[in-house]
Amino acid sequence: NMFPILTYKQMNNIDPLVPIINVLSKFSNNETAAIQFIMRSAKSEWRRQGVKVASEMHQGKSLKQVLGSSQKGFLYYLLGEPSDWFFSSGKNKQESKNPYHLSPMEEQMVKGIEEKASKAGLDVNIRIVTFAPLEHQAKENLRRIVDSFFQYSSYQYANGFKAVIKGNGKQLIHDFIYRNFKEELGIVLNTEELASLWHLPLPNTPVPKIRWLTARRLPPPLNMPQEGVLIGENDYRGVKTLVKIRDNDRRRHMYIIGMTGTGKSTTMATMVVQDIRDGKGVCIIDPHGELIEEILQCIPKERVEDVIIFDPSDVEYPIGLNMLEAHNSFEMDKAAQEMINIFYKLLPDPSMAGPMFEHYMRNALLVLMADKDNPGTLVELARIFTDEEFRKEKLTHVTDILVKDFWEREYVASQRGSTASDMLSYVISKTGRFVENELMRNIIGQSHSGINFRQVMDEGKILLMNLSKGKIGDTNSNLLGLIAVSKLQMAALSRADMPESERRDFFLYLDEFQNFITDSISIILSEARKYKLNLCLAHQFIGQLVQNNDTRVRDAVFGNVGNLMAYRIGVDDSEVIVKQFSPMVSEYDVLNIEKFNAYFRMMIDNTAMPVFNLRCYHPFEIIKPNKELVQPLKELSRLKYGTPRSIVVAEIIERSKIGQLG
């Protein structure tokens, strides 16, 4: 036991595990092998013997003199079979009375004995078990693994391994399963030798088929809620914990970031189907459409009547969406400002507008909103500037003195110069692409919205907005999403007229949310919580939140969101996200975490918890899908909330005088 085997130090620091793993990597799918190390603390006799042998050899004795001719067999092979390699050559000679001079090889042997004795030792059994469909395959695999252990053997002045089968195969399997330690097959190895035999593969190990742990695993909070929405599962050191979040903590909003296909939409869908199952009110704005289709398969029959599907591509039954529908002066001012923010959002360069644009646009919008029974729409926006009779009729409903003064004095004066015509050209150029598109005109041109957003929130409806860019185009999708978010924000703020205890939680999910929010996002995030409008925001990378070096949206998100989830992200985002998860998560972790796995910093009882990892659930793991219900749901929704195309077209023509000579 005192003699060493070769370690990585004698192998020029080449990883000795590579040949063993190479053998395993060549197995086919139906072949298996296991290499088992059974270890326990060794008694100290082996160390005392090694120190004694080394000391006496330094004093001038040969190994044979120290051990005596009867001490044959101190070298051990695999599973402990004694060896006579070291003594197999050479002839017995009469011991010299003169001091023995060690050869260089013997000096190296003594050094090896001393080095082995200087480290902690353990009694070790090593077992190898292979399995294959055919016996000869299993034996061949066993032989190849055993051969890979010969690299640790030194055939002179050191120790080595040899395969030994004791008893029958059944006994070996029994010992393998129950991890029995066999005294007669034991060998003492120190920590350096064991580290050479087994260690975790190094990052630069040139072997295929190793399943690397790509990102750090972290434990969940000890006070993980037992109730709430199930998001996923944490698996830490073999202990699986369900990750749930309560409604009270969801009021601090949730932010999800991750590259395409990593699991963002899946997490949102999983939360949505549970909210729907639990009778809660939800709105999902989906710019792709796939998320909505999945959710529709999970609608319980008892909630069918609550479903509202807003699908602009359904041209036969368009649902009206009028941003200029307001019920009081507060809503009018809010709607006008949000509409201006939306125009800025849609401009490639916001500096192209400016204060004059805002001034004219605000007064035009306020006039169109003045008639609460028959509010104007974006379709009539240009007409306010060009049709004096139409403008006069709308002004009869205006009660704001400043708005009246603008149109009766300031605008009239501007017509003498080029200001009015310039502004008209500007307005037409920005709104024309929507008004001239029949699909969009039939939606934003309806004076009354087909959806009462306040009612949706208060009654806990299910609003599914399928704004598929592939069907209606990017800009159209963005405009409709911006209008919907603004109307939900105004509906939430209007809840000030009811006691907080009566305000029902409503959950708004925005996929690719950067397309559907304006600079007022900070107000939504800070104020909406009071009115129980709870946001879940998802997108791909942080650069989407910065336009023209304006970081207000990004700062508002990171400054107000309490629950932050990060799937795999890009290099440009890693530094920012890691700061949110510091010090437990590194940039390497967020760049390499597996698909459908994420890091999550959540709130529990309004307290931020340390970050941990989770695997997200698919909605179909929570709710059994029912495809047969999808089409009836769509048909029911379009009939309840949509208006036949012919009626919409006739109304728009009547109000806008489109197609008439005057």
DSSP sequence for 221-262: PTT--SSSEEEEEEEETTEEEEEEE-HHHHTT-EEEE--TTS
In 3D space, the residue among 439, 440, 464, 469 whose CA is nearest the CA of residue 287 turns out to be 469
| Same structural domain, 26 and 163 | yes
Tens-place pLDDT, residues 55-102: 888 888 888 778 774 344 333 333 334 333 333 334 444 444 567 788
What is the C-alpha to C-alpha distance for residues 390 and 420, in angstroms, rounded to an integer?
Answer: 17
Q: What backbone phi and psi angles, to 5 degrees, belong to 528?
A: -60, -30
Q: Specify the number of domains making up the chain.
A: 2
Q: With contact defined as beta carbons under 8 Å apart, do 480 and 358 qualify?
A: no
Distance of CA 140 to the CA centre of its chain: 44
What is the C-alpha to C-alpha distance for residues 279 and 301, in angstroms, rounded to an integer?
Answer: 12
| Same structural domain, 340 and 192 | no
- H or E element that contains 75: strand 75-76
Domain limits for position 144: 17-197
Residue 187 lies in a domain: yes
List the chain residues with pLDDT less than 70: 69-98, 155-157, 166-168, 348-353, 420, 656-662
Sheet strands (E) in 32-74: 32-41
Tens-place pLDDT, residues 404-461: 999 999 988 887 777 767 777 777 777 777 888 899 999 999 999 999 999 999 999 9
Out of 432, 448, 464, pick the residue that ends a domain.
448
> Amino acid letter at 339?
M
| Same structural domain, 188 and 43 | yes
> Amino acid letter at 211?
R
Residue 72 lies in a domain: yes
Residue 524 lies in a domain: no
What is the C-alpha to C-alpha distance for residues 27 and 186, in angstroms, rounded to an integer?
Answer: 29
For the entire predicted model, the pTM comes to 0.78
Residue 31 lies in a domain: yes
Q: With contact defined as beta carbons under 8 Å apart, do 100 and 146 qualify?
A: no
Out of 414, 432, 448, pick the residue that ends a domain.
448
What is the C-alpha to C-alpha distance for residues 568 and 585, in angstroms, rounded to an integer?
Answer: 13
DSSP-derived letter for residue 550 is: B
Residue 409 lies in a domain: yes
Q: Is 124 helix (H, G, I), strand (E, B) or coil?
A: strand
What is the C-alpha to C-alpha distance for residues 221 and 241, in angstroms, rounded to an integer?
Answer: 10
Out of 419, 448, 477, pick the residue that ends a domain.
448
What is the C-alpha to C-alpha distance for residues 595 and 408, in angstroms, rounded to an integer?
Answer: 62
Residue 512 lies in a domain: no
What is the C-alpha to C-alpha distance for residues 358 and 337, in angstroms, rounded to an integer?
Answer: 9
What is the C-alpha to C-alpha distance for residues 301 and 625, in angstroms, rounded to an integer?
Answer: 12
What is the C-alpha to C-alpha distance for residues 164 and 631, in angstroms, rounded to an integer?
Answer: 69
DSSP-derived letter for residue 47 is: H
DSSP 249-303: HHTT-EEEE--TTSSHHHHHHHHHHHHHHTT-EEEEEESSSHHHHHHHTT--GGG
Residue 377 lies in a domain: yes
DSSP 375-443: ---GGGHHHHHH-HHHHHHHHTT---HHHHHIIIIIHHHHTTSSHHHHHHHHHHHHHHHHHSSHHHHHH
